[in-house]
Structure 1
Amino acid sequence: MNIFVINAGSSSLKYQLFKMPAEQPICVGLIERIGLSGSIINHKVFTGGQEKTVREELDLPDHQAALQEVVKLLTEAGTGVIQDPGEIDVVGHRVVHGGERFSDTTVITPAVKEQIKMLFHLAPLHNPGNFQGIEVAENLFHKATQVAVFDTAFHQTMPEKAYRYAIPASFYTQDGVRVYGFHGTSHKYVAAKVGEYLDNPEAKVITIHLGNGCSMAAVKAGKCIDTSMGFTPLDGLIMGTRSGAIDASVVFYLASKLGMPMEQIDNLLNKKSGMLGLTGSSDMREVQKARAAGDPDAILAYEMYAYRIQKYIGSYAAALNGVDALVFTAGVGENDALTRELVCQNMEYLGVHLDQTRNAVRNGSLREINTPESPAKVLVIPTNEELEIANQCCQLLAEVR
């Protein structure tokens, strides 16, 4: 089964093609600057144990033009891995927000598309781009089954006590104001890997997704019971440019006392805060260099970043009544040994004992970084959201058929 996975952003398009059940993609790609001059395509093909890379720079005015270029690369001599777009059996789409309506992977119908459009206001930066990707793919891969995989779906198993806010109930019942959580595809993928690795389907796991966006989840027996992002992806951990959890009164103060318009406050907390606001850079590699050079802002930022994660670990250990494994994943989680070291300090009370030598190793595969005698496992697991989407598409179609 040929499954083509699409992750469409407002000006970008990530994609992978899987020939399932093989879990290694036969091609991967990223298109950036869609709608701007000088759009960039990076396309990689894996055949016969070899890798071939194509990099192009051209003007792509919209997602239609971008996907048409992808189809060309998929089918033409030299880069082609299929003969015709009709060979694609399924197109799996990452959709960021599914609200309460979508708790499972779903075949896309006109009714489903209308529901996704109705959720634009909950994810204005993401859902419109996801929707555009669906509409373009329907035209180009007209024989394929179109499937939506929602970032919020994994968190729909949270109990009401975890997802409700302590505000009048009408804001939830009428307006949908509640915790939704995000990065669900990543959390689901790594949590399943932990269960397999520990051979314990009932495992109590805390998954820690650290990239430019950061979130955590408390997972018991493969089900999410709490997560750090909330109504939007702004809540929770300190991130690359987002503040994470902050006293709501700060917003009132910025508006009423400093005279900042709401749009400017929104931009401040989402795009100018986090590590960028603390240090001047949202790139953890740059912050780490500054820290090593003795920059006090970078030193403090790392301490704050790790401390916020530690606080969530403590609360999630309480929610789970213990913890069998901590899991670090995504760009920072997988590659930043310093972050993992700082997070695991003073965690002996939870049975967490980090092995410094193991922690320093980078090998791109699932690995333990705890000491042999550590009661709790500390794992690094590379996430693979595209593979998780492909797997969920396969499972859904198997159930339908």
Structure 2
Amino acid sequence: MIPTILTLNAGSSSLKFRVFAHDGLALLARGAVSRIGGEAELRAALTHGPETRLALPRGSDHAAALQALLDFVDAHDDGWRMRAVAHRIVHGGTKYTRSTLITPQVLQDLQALIPLAPLHQPHNLAAIAASRRLVGAVPDVACFDTAFHTGRDPLFTHFALPPKYYDKGLRRYGFHGLSYQWLAHVLAKQHPALHQGRVIAAHLGNGASLCAMRGGRSVDTTMGMTAVDGVPMGTRSGAVDPGAILLMQRSFGMRVEEIEDLIYNRSGLLGLSGKSNDVAALLADGTPESRFALDFFAVKCAQAAAALAVSLGGIDAMVFTGGIGENAAPVREAILRRMAPLGRFETLVIPADEERMMAMEAIALSQAAGG
């Protein structure tokens, strides 16, 4: 029997999974169910095997998606025995500052955080509910995107609001923590001098943020209380003047739900270009609107990097990761050109591996519990 760890990363219409060996973390299988709620499809493969594609019944939910991927695992495993299921959870609030075993109380606490991550948290929780029904008596582990940013100086966690609002949870949490935690892990192993130095990491994908790190710890980051703040993203606006939000409500007559839909789903690269949130498509399109969207994105990322350099007292390295950060060289180059006033620094591209980080967290947690 081969002990394994299953990782789940649930989005609004997708469920990504990986199966790792518990000992050594070899990747055994990977895949995803896409278009959940519509024409859902499973695409999955063993590490060195052909891809399986399977259409699910129209309108399948996260539970049906999980059942499909479990059926794939059952049909293709070679004596695997699942030891834990690790779930990516976007928001842990102030209470959850490290990965934790999921209990009814944990679920209740995470439900209360849905308003802080409305685009992600409900779907993360849906995957947990499905896992607890379908997987069996194995531990479910919550791995938080906010946890890596715990312990920052209060200068980097406050808004300029009276303290009573901070005490009520209105504060800068930061996100993409599992990605940054993985980068810190890689830097410590492969670039130990940089790991101890002043690193600005840019997780650039459909969700995007930057993080200032020193000694493998988060010092400052661009995202704030929710995952819509900071630099522009695929469909999310990034930072917007709060007065503009008030104007939309008071003068334009927009309901809160309409504003939320605008800043989460119809803004960013999609909103600026009027065409797409896909960087490859925008680069290929080459129209003034597409070029403007990409230029705006590059300028805001470079400006954010400059601000983070102030937080660090300088910069020794810029690390790119995520779908855009790893694959869109023209975007990286545009950002770096605009960072020229910061002087010379090293540039690295490190592939994201949040799932492996989640598996490592699940293993460490089970070992600490004596499992």
Q: Can you list the C-alpha shifts for 1:30-82, whole angstroms capped at 9, x where unaligned?
A: 0123333x320001112xxx322110112163323222222221112xxx114
TM-score, structure 1 as length reference: 0.86
- 1:1-400 equivalence runs, <5 A: 1-36=3-38, 38-46=39-47, 50-59=48-57, 61-76=60-75, 80-83=76-79, 87-174=81-168, 176-200=169-193, 201-280=195-274, 281-291=276-286, 295-352=287-344, 376-400=345-369
Secondary structure (helix, strand or coil) at the match of 1:51 reads: coil
Secondary structure (helix, strand or coil) at the match of 1:180 reads: coil
In 2, the alpha carbon distance for the partners of 1:346 and 1:253 equals 32
For the structure 1 residues 97 and 398, does the alpha-carbon distance in structure 2 shift closer, same or farther, using more than 3 Å as the test?
A: same
Q: Which amino acid aligns with 2:346?
A: K
Q: Which moved more, 1:330-339 or 1:113-122?
A: 113-122
Unaligned stretches of 5+ residues in structure 2: none
In 1, the alpha carbon distance for the partners of 2:266 and 2:316 equals 36
Q: CA deviation at 1:320?
A: 0.7
Q: Which amino acid aligns with 1:347?
A: M
Q: CA deviation at 1:349?
A: 4.1
Q: Which moved more, 1:190-199 or 1:163-172?
A: 190-199
In 2, the alpha carbon distance for the partners of 1:41 and 1:132 equals 18
Q: CA deviation at 1:317?
A: 0.9
In 1, the alpha carbon distance for the partners of 2:115 and 2:294 equals 33
Contact 2:117–2:227 at 8 Å: present in 1 too? no
Identical aligned pairs, as a percentage? 36
Q: Can you list the C-alpha shifts for 1:133-184, whole angstroms capped at 9, x where unaligned?
A: 112212323231211101111111222111111112222213x111111111
Contact 1:195–1:203 at 8 Å: present in 2 too? no
In 1, the alpha carbon distance for the partners of 2:223 and 2:50 equals 38
Q: CA deviation at 1:346?
A: 4.7
Q: Which amino acid aligns with 2:16?
A: K
Q: Can you list the C-alpha shifts for 1:201-245, whole angstroms capped at 9, x where unaligned?
A: 422211101111110111111111111111111111111111211
In 1, the alpha carbon distance for the partners of 2:256 and 2:135 equals 41
TM-score, structure 2 as length reference: 0.93
Q: CA deviation at 1:99?
A: 0.4
In 2, the alpha carbon distance for the partners of 1:271 and 1:63 equals 21
Contact 1:191–1:205 at 8 Å: present in 2 too? no
Secondary structure (helix, strand or coil) at the match of 1:89 reads: strand
Q: Which amino acid aligns with 1:68?
A: Q
Unaligned stretches of 5+ residues in structure 1: 353-375
Q: Tell me the residue number matched to 1:370.
A: none
In 1, the alpha carbon distance for the partners of 2:146 and 2:178 equals 8
In 1, the alpha carbon distance for the partners of 2:311 and 2:225 equals 20
**Aligned residues: CA RMSD:** 1.7
